[in-house]
């Protein structure tokens, strides 16, 4: 990760500020011949788009993506794909009264301390708006994955929002697209909606935990010891705005287990190894096992709230602040498609890395010929 | 992170296998004129060295580091520093009976699936032995930090081991070097020792959680949006063997908070901003605030245990496995100095990155001149 | 250099095709607080712009640059600067009759062999049009250099065009902006113009050699042994379309010299070392000496000519080809500002790299205190 | 190229100084399962080894390479290969009398200006000794190329030494290994030997030009516009000590040609395109055509000569210097195997890069099916 670029071979550079003319992503390293269209990318952007339910910021942006390069006659050419999303709703006046103050829990103060620049118009580069560019780039990654790993699916969903957590006993992945919280639990939707309405009406905000699950990931992706698949997934998730933690499989709870409890026992299935459990989250030694790759990340609550908080001004005076702009009561909701996009980019990147080093045949088969 | 290299400007490449002739680290990008000696690096290596208490693997290695390049007349020259650690105790016969089987929860199977190579002599490149090279490289980073950020200190300690957790009410950083668990809680030591003895005698193993704390970190380190300080810390920790989760400040628990609870309110202190709390873990928008940088990571229990586990062989036959080699009942103990080393490398790397872009003066002062 | 990105810390990613909607550059790693405006960048672009004399392609593009991000209230913010240049004159019909044939000496055939894509509309990504994006990025680099190395100047000029070469005895840098060939030799202009008119009217083309000269470069830029300043300059120049060779100082002719002839003897001047000559081209061991940095590169003649050439079609049939589009009789003319831009980017990048490793004070002074 | 590392995917980091205990290379990204042995690498090192004829420095080093990691049971494992070469003949006393002076044309002064370090014992990191590590790494690259591109051959040879140049009419590649100059011209050997004896006995030195030729390079290697094959070859050659220029195919002379003269006309051969000539040097638009890839680079004469030269001391006093150490009268001779090694690394790196993006099938066939 190199300031504004991520990826080894499938490299995404995002650019743009919340209240500038546009944001976008430069996607380099895409294989040629892959069908890519603005319409297909738009499907993914629409899932992240603000203003689609009362649980999101009421900033209304069409978030229409334009492809400026790298696609010719409907397919990728192998050269950089420039994705541009214009900013259309930039009510920067909303922010005028906080221009000289730092919002507690917001990057205002650190951007100022580092750069001596205060882009008061909505956070500038630190705004969650940057994640739209990630989702567009993730759409390109998904188009490539469809060709290189046809059975691979990536699904993100919420598993916690403040005091509410899903009930794993009712886990149903097919419910995820049916509710505004990307919940794999239809029964919980009403309760979560009530809870978030309370938060929203109080001018408050709340954190969330998102789980990402990739099925159909080929075994063998990742590499020791700094090019591990989980290392790159951790970096990719931690780079998302407001994320404070990331874990694979058993995650932080692995600290509480014994070796017996943590071991995923191995059996021989018809197509290769099968496992009694997935504490590993599909990754051992940084390399995918072929099981589902399972990642979770925590999103902190938005710092923009209506309750007055103590803070200081650029001139060092103590004061209080209230943020009246349009904000997300739970920005974790919109982090779901963003997390999916990052996972798509990382998995594709590792497929390309693996293909570079290993070619398209796999030496390490498990079976009667290996004794 | 690029297979076996990490860092942007302070770049560390580690190499070597558990049972080869040596392991080591190639450290590139070190500023010149910094006092570096084998003796000074040895201090850090000795903290990680196995065999120093009954709670560690009984493999006995002096882990003596040699400097082969990059140091002349006692100071770094600005060219690559090659650090070499010979492997002296390589009882690979211990592993003979498991050479054809995959240990559940171990990288054996994924290395085989990817590379078609099975280095049965103790895990080869996936062995925790690789982390000695990190500690040596971290020693170089610390020597540079002493010059570039004199007040900066980095301390790692255990906060959980299986069912045991520290009591924050008794938190005392000065106790950390006084016990074999790097515990900031003198009272808990006896209880933890009894617990781990039970684990050890049962031929079992247990997970752990390590916390890293850096004080005196200058404000302004890190960069949006993929060069974030927390992104690189997350990647650095996740790249350590057996780590399954990493979090900053409030971490995964941020998912449960409201915006009011999570906001670290800001006040004006004599030397700059001070905060009512540190939910942020010293990082906002990927950039350091000047508060303590606080990172935690979870280490899963060693997969090598004496209780038989179900597994398969390279030829695909189902069987059971018991690992009789010398192993750590809680590998998390030795992860403490490793985590510190990774944090030292990341912080130094970001100091260099920051100095490149910003120079040595800081534009964003907070005070009366900024209105 | 990573497919479409160059630079270590000042990183430029260009994107876009000759006949797509736009081309551009994503500039990452720019220090904050530097005055950057579209108007200031336009000055550099206008120097490269086609259609400004009869010696250039008659394709007429305003080449107006827009800044989409990274600049706020007139200064850089430290975040990515997106530079966009719309393509307005895309007469792709000119190329229709060659769509199925490969131009000898052109990248048509290798793009086809690699990607299976033929963007017949003017070369797509291989078009010299891409270099406009470099010039825009170079304008940003120059703005930063003005702040970080105020006395540094970069000047490019032609030293050869086909059978014509400059007379070093009449060398006058101040003449460079006064003629359409960027010639440091006013007397030669008429003769060169006649020569190129003949070439142009014959529907032919001719090669050129460009020299770049940077004065005021601080001593100490560059690093052994793969981050050498000359290595990066060589790569930067060789990456320009149609460049076939690059040399530093004495260059290829160094092969003919003895050690006595090649040695630049050193004397002590009032401000540091001075040299009897500059065979080294201002670089020793990959590190700048403080003398002028002198680079030359050769540009081959455009492959698009009116004389029929033998070639093949995509279906493998032998045929002949004549290229009737609008082309440069000597593309080397427009390579002059492109070369300058690349040099500006490389020098700035190395200033940042040097500042990262060395800080802002220089340990190696030459003078009485060092004995 | 990142200070001491080169390569995108096949990454080589060299380390070590002329008079330290050892030098070496860390080779990362090697595919697994490739036969690699010290004995096989030694063959390449022996070609570069000093002291094997009177035309080389009389420093006598066995240059015996040891493999410390990354090879198990005779084949590469896919993890980093550490190659170590001990320095055994370090007569540093030879250099004592020049310890305080800067050799004109040598990196002494720039290392001092940058780092404030003077490793007077033979140049430290700037010594040509570093190139032994490149040759060892190149040997690994060759072993991999044998598997991935079986018909590919790389041959380097001298084409000029001072006033002597080869006669292309007598060009015979098979003669290259038969003489101490790597000359493809048996008749010239005696004349060159006499010439260099004169240089040597005069305590002088002379420059050289080396040509590298790779046959059997698959079409399609390289990528626009900064990942060009020729860009990486140029950087690789320019990074070799004492190299001052590099060119591809027609090279610098392309500046003198017309488009007609420069065009390599294309015909259809039995296995694909064939060309009337190879002005392009096997690369168009940065991508290989399938023709021989031809690179030349110029090596300046060694700066260490017996004729007194004017120079200054660290304390700024003017003086004269004579270098009495053991040196090469024509260091270009030893640059031949070094250039070959760099070319092997670059070609392999691009084969891996290409395989990553394109897979193992090639979309752009030329033939009847493409109309």
Secondary structure, 3-state, D189-214: HHHHHHHHHHHHHCCCCECEEEEEEE
Residue whose C-alpha is closest to residue B317's, from B100, B2, B123: B100
pLDDT at D91 over 70: no
How high is the pLDDT of residue C58?
A: 66
CA nearest C80 in A: which residue? A15
Nearest-CB residue to C110 (from D288, D315, D371): D288
Q: Output the CA–CA distances (angstroms, integers) from residue A208 to A95, A231, A310, B241, D290, in the order listed.
A: 26, 22, 24, 28, 55
| Per-residue tokens: B52 | 């120093």
D66 CB neighbours in chain B (<8 A) are 21
Nearest-CB residue to B244 (from A125, A250, A298): A250
Residue whose C-alpha is closest to residue D139's, from D282, D52, D21, D25: D25
Q: Do A116 and C15 touch (CB under 8 A)?
A: no
Name the CA dihedral angle for B180, B181, B186, B188, rounded to a multiple of 10 degrees: -120
Q: What is the DSSP pairing of strand D208-215 with strand D287-288? A: unpaired
Mean pLDDT to the nearest integer, D65-72: 97
Q: Please answer whether residues A272 and A193 qualify as being in contact, where contact means their C-beta atoms are separated by less than 8 angstroms.
A: no
In C188-317, DSSP assigns E strands to 208-215, 243-248, 266-269, 272-275, 283-284, 287-288, 293-299, 309-312
How high is the pLDDT of residue D95?
A: 60
Interface probe with C: pick from D211, D255, D346, D367, most Cβ of C within 10 Å: D255
Q: Output the CA–CA distances (angstroms, integers) from residue C120 to A311, C104, D25, D239, in the order listed.
A: 60, 14, 45, 37
Q: Output the CA–CA distances (angstroms, integers) from residue B316 to A283, A290, D7, in the order listed.
A: 20, 16, 38
- End-to-end alpha-carbon separation of chain C, Å? 41
The segments of chain C whose pLDDT lies below 50 read: none
For chain A, the chains sharing at least 3 beta-carbon pairs closer than 8 angstroms are B, C, D
User: Alpha-carbon distance A285 to A226, whole Å?
Assistant: 11
DSSP A29-84: -PPTT-B--HHHHHHHHHHH-TTSSTTS--------EEE-SSEETTEE-SS-EEEE
Q: Output the CA–CA distances (angstroms, integers) from residue D40 to D60, D66, D130, D140, D141, in the order listed.
A: 21, 11, 20, 9, 12
Helix (H/G/I), strand (E/B), else coil: A342: helix
Shortest Cα distance, chain A CAs vs residue D26, angstroms: 14
Cβ of A272: how many Cβ atoms within 10 Å? 15
Residue whose C-alpha is closest to residue A11's, from B277, C202, D223: D223
In sequence order, which residues have a C-beta less than 8 Å from that of residue D341 and are 6 or more positions away?
A: D44, D134, D135, D137, D138, D139, D141
D360 CB neighbours in chain A (<8 A) are 359-360
Tell me the backbone φ, ψ of residue C354, rounded to 5 degrees.
Answer: -65, -40
| Per-residue tokens: A45 | 């952007």
In sequence order, which residues have a C-beta less than 8 Å from that of residue B270 and are 6 or more positions away?
A: none
How high is the pLDDT of residue B362?
A: 72
How high is the pLDDT of residue D29?
A: 97
Tell me the backbone φ, ψ of residue B86, rounded to 5 degrees.
Answer: -75, 145
Per-residue burial over C271-292, b if 16 or more Cβ lie within 10 Å, else e, is: eebebeebbbbbbbbbbbbbbb
- pTM here is 0.97
| Whether residue A225 has a cis bond before it, omega within 30° of 0 | yes
Q: Please answer whether residues C294 and C248 qualify as being in contact, where contact means their C-beta atoms are separated by less than 8 angstroms.
A: yes
Residues of B with CB under 8 A from a CB of C: 9, 29-33, 78-79, 223-224, 352-353, 355-360, 363
For chain C, the chains sharing at least 3 beta-carbon pairs closer than 8 angstroms are A, B, D
How high is the pLDDT of residue A324?
A: 74
Residue D77 CA neighbour count, 13 Å, CB half: 27
For B225-240, write each residue's pLDDT tens digit.
Answer: 999 999 999 999 999 9
How high is the pLDDT of residue B216?
A: 97
Confidence of residue D367 (pLDDT cuts 50, 70, 90): confident
Tell me chain D's radius of gyration from C-alpha atoms: 21
pLDDT at A129 over 70: yes
pLDDT at D132 over 60: yes
**Residues facing D287 on adjacent strands:** D284
For A4-48, write each residue's pLDDT tens digit.
Answer: 999 999 999 999 999 899 999 999 999 999 999 999 999 999 988
Q: Do D115 and B77 touch (CB under 8 A)?
A: yes
How high is the pLDDT of residue A100?
A: 85
Arithmetic mean of pLDDT over chain A? 92
Residue length, chain C?
A: 371
User: Alpha-carbon distance B2 to D14, whole Å?
Assistant: 16
For chain D, the chains sharing at least 3 beta-carbon pairs closer than 8 angstroms are A, B, C
Shortest Cα distance, chain D CAs vs residue A353, angstroms: 6
CA nearest C131 in D: which residue? D225
User: Alpha-carbon distance A210 to A299, whole Å?
Assistant: 8
B353 CB neighbours in chain C (<8 A) are 9, 356
Per-residue burial over B221-238, b if 16 or more Cβ lie within 10 Å, else e, is: bbbbbbbbbbbbbbbbbb
User: Alpha-carbon distance C221 to C145, whole Å?
Assistant: 14
Q: Please answer whether residues C327 and C54 qualify as being in contact, where contact means their C-beta atoms are separated by less than 8 angstroms.
A: no
Cβ of A105: how many Cβ atoms within 10 Å? 29
C257 CB neighbours in chain D (<8 A) are 162, 206-207, 300-301
pLDDT at D175 over 60: yes
Q: Do D259 and C110 touch (CB under 8 A)?
A: no
| Whether residue B225 has a cis bond before it, omega within 30° of 0 | yes
How high is the pLDDT of residue D347?
A: 98
Q: Do B32 and C358 touch (CB under 8 A)?
A: yes
Exposed, middle or buried, D316 (CB in 10 Å: 0-12/13-18/19+)?
Answer: middle
User: Alpha-carbon distance D37 to D200, whole Å?
Assistant: 36
For D248-258, write each residue's pLDDT tens digit.
Answer: 999 999 999 99
- End-to-end alpha-carbon separation of chain A, Å? 41
CA nearest D78 in B: which residue? B115
Q: To the nearest whole percent, how much of chain D has pLDDT over 90?
A: 81
Shortest Cα distance, chain B CAs vs residue A97, angstroms: 13
How high is the pLDDT of residue D369?
A: 65
User: Alpha-carbon distance B29 to B348, whole Å?
Assistant: 11
D356 CB neighbours in chain A (<8 A) are 9, 29, 352-353, 355-356
CA nearest A117 in C: which residue? C77
**Residues facing C22 on adjacent strands:** C86
pLDDT at A65 over 80: yes
How high is the pLDDT of residue B171?
A: 97
Helix (H/G/I), strand (E/B), else coil: D305: coil
Q: Where are the alpha helices (DSSP H) in D50-178?
A: 108-115, 130-148
Nearest-CB residue to B360 (from C9, C359, C363): C359
In sequence order, which residues have a C-beta less than 8 Å from that of residue A102 and are 6 or more positions away?
A: A108, A109, A112, A311, A312, A313, A314, A321, B266, B273
For chain B, the chains sharing at least 3 beta-carbon pairs closer than 8 angstroms are A, C, D
How high is the pLDDT of residue B287?
A: 97
HEC profile of A320-335: EECCCCCCCCCCHHHH
**Residues facing C210 on adjacent strands:** C158, C297
User: Alpha-carbon distance A4 to C236, whole Å?
Assistant: 22
How high is the pLDDT of residue C136?
A: 98
Looking at C81-95, D199-213, D323-337, which range is the least confident one?
Answer: C81-95
Mean pLDDT to the nearest integer, A234-257: 98
How high is the pLDDT of residue D370?
A: 61
For B324-352, write each residue's pLDDT tens digit.
Answer: 766 789 999 999 999 999 999 999 999 99
For B23-41, write each residue's pLDDT tens digit.
Answer: 999 999 999 999 999 999 9
Residue whose C-alpha is closest to residue B250's, from A244, A158, A103: A244
User: Alpha-carbon distance C231 to C223, whole Å?
Assistant: 10
B132 CB neighbours in chain D (<8 A) are none
- End-to-end alpha-carbon separation of chain D, Å? 41
How high is the pLDDT of residue B95?
A: 60
């Amino acid at each position: 990760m190199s300031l504004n670029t991520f990826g080894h071979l499938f490299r995404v550079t995002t650019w743009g500020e919340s209240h500038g003319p546009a944001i976008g992503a430069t996607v380099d390293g895409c294989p040629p011949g892959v069908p890519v269209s603005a319409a297909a990318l738009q499907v993914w952007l629409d899932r992240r788009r603000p203003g689609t339910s009362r649980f999101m910021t009421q900033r209304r942006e069409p978030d229409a993506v334009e492809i400026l390069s790298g696609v010719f006659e409907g397919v990728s050419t192998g050269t950089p794909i420039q994705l541009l999303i214009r900013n259309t709703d930039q009510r920067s006046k909303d922010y005028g009264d906080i221009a000289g103050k730092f919002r507690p829990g917001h990057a205002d103060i650190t951007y100022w301390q580092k750069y001596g620049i205060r882009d008061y118009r909505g956070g500038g580069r630190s705004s969650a708006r940057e994640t739209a560019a990630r989702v567009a780039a993730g759409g390109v990654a998904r188009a490539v994955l469809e060709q290189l790993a046809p059975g691979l699916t990536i699904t993100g969903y919420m598993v916690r929002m403040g005091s509410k957590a899903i009930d794993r006993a009712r886990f149903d992945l097919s419910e995820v697209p049916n509710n505004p919280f990307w919940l794999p639990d239809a029964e919980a939707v009403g309760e979560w909606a009530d809870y978030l309405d309370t938060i929203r009406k109080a001018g408050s905000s709340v954190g969330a935990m998102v789980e990402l699950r990739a099925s159909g990931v080929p075994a063998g992706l990742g590499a020791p010891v700094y090019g591990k698949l989980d290392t790159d997934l951790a970096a990719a998730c931690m780079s998302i705005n407001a994320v404070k933690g990331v874990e694979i499989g058993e995650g932080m709870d692995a600290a509480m287990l014994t070796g017996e409890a943590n071991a995923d026992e191995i059996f021989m299935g018809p197509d290769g190894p099968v496992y009694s459990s997935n504490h590993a989250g599909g990754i051992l030694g940084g390399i995918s096992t072929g099981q589902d790759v399972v990642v979770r990340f925590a999103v902190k609550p938005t710092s923009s709230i209506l309750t007055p908080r103590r803070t200081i001004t650029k001139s060092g005076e103590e004061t209080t602040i209230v943020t009246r702009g349009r904000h997300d009561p739970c920005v974790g909701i919109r982090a779901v498609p963003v997390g999916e996009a990052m996972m798509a980019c990382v998995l594709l990147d590792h497929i390309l890395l693996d293909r570079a080093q290993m070619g398209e045949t796999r030496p390490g088969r498990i079976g009667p010929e290996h004794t």
